[in-house]
Amino acid sequence: MKKLTSWALIRQNLSRKPVRTGILAVIVFLFSFTLYCGTVIGQGLSQGTRTTAERLGADALFVPYGYDAKVQSSLLRGEPSSFYMDRRFSEEVRQEKGVEKVTAQLFIATLKASCCTLPVQLIGIDPETDFVVRPWMASAIDRPMRDDEVVVGSKIVGQVGDTLTLFGKELTIAARLEPTGMGFDTSVFLEIDRARRLLLASELGPRLNLPAGLDRNAFVSSTLIKAAPATDIKELVNRISQKYAAAYNLDFVVVAGMITDMAAKLSFFSRCIHVFSGVLWVLGALVMALVFSALIRERKKEFAVLRIIGASRSALGRIVMREALLVSLSGAFAGVAAAMLVTTLFNAYIGAVLDAPSLEPGPLYRLAAAAGALLLGLMTGPLACLPAMRKLGRIDAYIIMREEL
Amino acid sequence: MKDFSWGGLIVAVLGLLIMASPAYFFPVCETMISTAAGGSAPMKCFWTGRAALGGGGMIAVSGFLLLLAKHPGVRLGLAFLPLCAGLLVILTSNLLIGVCPGAMMPCRMGTLPALSFFGFLAVLASGCIAVSAGRRMAALGGAIRRAGEKSGPYGEKGAENGERA
């Protein structure tokens, strides 16, 4: 004959009511899942935004009129685009007061690349003046790029030494950059003059629709400016715009503003997730408290019998508490496991859907988030069953059993 | 232990999700590769999508059969079908056929994780059904054995009459 232990009772109570047990576990599952996903995705976006601000290095970008949104989507998400402006602007603006550094970049969207048959963003950089890409390119390649070499972002297919066919030309991958979470991850970098020659020699060359008056051998896509210390960036950008906008048909993007917009979007997302998790937790705890309260009422006779055969009040309390703990544990564990699986597998997809630069948080952060979500999920059941346990203390075995007779 | 009877429904739904993912929820790449001969051919994720259609169909059908089957032996045998088909879905999308190499291509960002996730869940659910059916089989076998020992080869009456003695 099997010995009657509290664990055997708990197991039987839970397995005899699979629907009730399942619903309670699902409530904890949803809470833990939402909490983990929200925390990890929020951290990924915050890390992506921070890296973008750090890596961009420039204070303002000048682009052809109407292309401010295009350059942002190209920089942040790597959406390929091509637009052109006069190179002379970057030479003239260098003379302006308050301008410390100036560099030009050429953006070319390929028709398709051998690596993936989808358009890739080619970014031509000026090796002599560049202050945006080269500082962090230095860790990947410590010498000037050769004419037949390119440096690729972390998400471009191919190993160092492999060849990449762009516009019908085979180029060797000289280095691969570290993940940044921004559009640079899906871009290919090469020397600006080489990029221009490549474009002009390609099938796109003869059909290239350059704005009127633009020299076919001296066009760029954007001019990036770093202001001198203690310079009012807004005032500088306004001054440059007023002076050159009409002559060069310019538009501008202030990097700090772009980052602030992203940070505001991110903070809203983060707040939404945490409010949602909080509401879910309170609702879950309330539902569980109601269920446990009804459960105690329903099982009054069972507890009375247990009291009669010698179980103490604290033993009954332990049974209810352990039941709640087991339900919470199964729900929280399944929720965190599912959330870890989903955020790991769908990381790139989530970043693309949210339309913001995103970097996957490190394993330590993810482990801490998992432990936090597991702990909070685990606490739900025991906390919710506390009011029900007070009722348990008021059970009078004699009266309950006499009512039965 | 109660039988995991509604597990068949979960398996069937997962099978339908695997079938629908490459076509509707997380579509594979639509671009065609230009061949050297001047023609065009679909990318390899297209074939992974086709394989998922077959694998998912097999999982969905076995899920519905699991809903109908009552005998634990039949359920145990049937549970191995979605388990193997789920593994096949994971293997075709990750190894045997694979998807396009580009990290930002729709098939790698969406279809591959979706097929891996649903395939894993199908394997997990089928595994639970198999374990549950296996336990019921063992319990049933034990009960039959006990009944046999109690009644003896000639039945309870025969044993009482001392025919075996």
DSSP calls for A234-299: HHHHHHHHHHHHHHHTEEEEEHHHHHHHHHHHHHHHHHHHHHHHHHHHHHHHHHHHHHHHHHHHHT
Query: Of A77, A107, A74, A319, whose CA–CA distance to A192 is shortest?
Result: A107
Q: Name the one residue in this structure whose structure tokens are 């903070």.
A: A267
> What percent of chain B has pLDDT above 70?
87
B76 band by pLDDT with thresholds 50, 70 and 90: very high
Residues 50-69 of B with CB under 8 A from A: none
pTM for the whole thing?
Answer: 0.78
SS3 label, residue A58: coil
Residues 75-114 of B with CB under 8 A from A: 100-105, 108-110, 113-114
User: How does pLDDT run across A238-277, given as a tens digit for each residue?
Assistant: 999 888 888 888 888 888 887 777 777 777 877 888 888 8
**Looking at CA atoms only, how far is residue B163 from chain A in angstroms?**
31
Residue A28 contacts by C-beta under 8 Å, 6 or more apart in sequence? A284, A327, A328, A330, A331, A332, A335, A377, A380, A381
**Looking at CA atoms only, how far is residue A220 from chain B in angstroms?**
26
The whole-number pLDDT of residue A110 equals 76
Which residue of B lies nearest to A342 if distances are taken between CA atoms? B117
> What percent of chain A has pLDDT above 70?
93
B130 band by pLDDT with thresholds 50, 70 and 90: very high
From the candidates B30, B89, B104, which should be mutated to test the interface with A, based on the most A CB atoms within 10 A? B104
Q: Which of B1, B113, B116 sits opposite A15 (nearest CB)?
A: B1
Does B161 contact chain A (CB < 8 Å)?
no
Residues 184-213 of A with CB under 8 A from B: 185-186
Average per-residue pLDDT in chain A? 83
A400 band by pLDDT with thresholds 50, 70 and 90: low
Domain boundaries, chain B: 7-133
Residues of B in contact with A156 (CB under 8 A): 102-103
Counting one residue from chain A and one from chain B, the pairs whose CB atoms sit within 8 A come to 53
Residues 149-188 of A with CB under 8 A from B: 154-157, 185-186
Q: Do A186 and B43 touch (CB under 8 A)?
A: no
Q: Tell me the CA distances in angstroms from B65 to A91, A343, B17, B22, B59, one per residue in order.
A: 74, 33, 17, 24, 10
Query: Of A264, A360, A350, A356, whose CA–CA distance to A79 is shortest?
Result: A356
B165 band by pLDDT with thresholds 50, 70 and 90: very low
The whole-number pLDDT of residue B118 equals 96
User: How does pLDDT run across A270-315, given as a tens digit for each residue?
Assistant: 788 888 888 888 888 888 888 888 878 787 778 888 888 877 878 8
Q: Which of B31, B113, B120 sits opposite A349 (nearest CB)?
A: B113
Highest mean pLDDT: which of A12-21, A77-86, A303-312, B8-17?
A: B8-17
Give the pair of three-digit tokens for residue A193: 């003059």
Q: How many angstroms separate the CA atoms of B122 and B116, rounded?
A: 10
Residue A38 carries which side chain, given as an amino acid letter?
Answer: G
Does A341 contact chain B (CB < 8 Å)?
yes
What would the mean pLDDT of B146-156 be, rounded to a whole number?
69
Residue B35 has pLDDT above 80, yes or no: no
Q: Which of B33, B43, B109 sits opposite A348 (nearest CB)?
A: B109
Element (H, E) at A176: strand A169-176
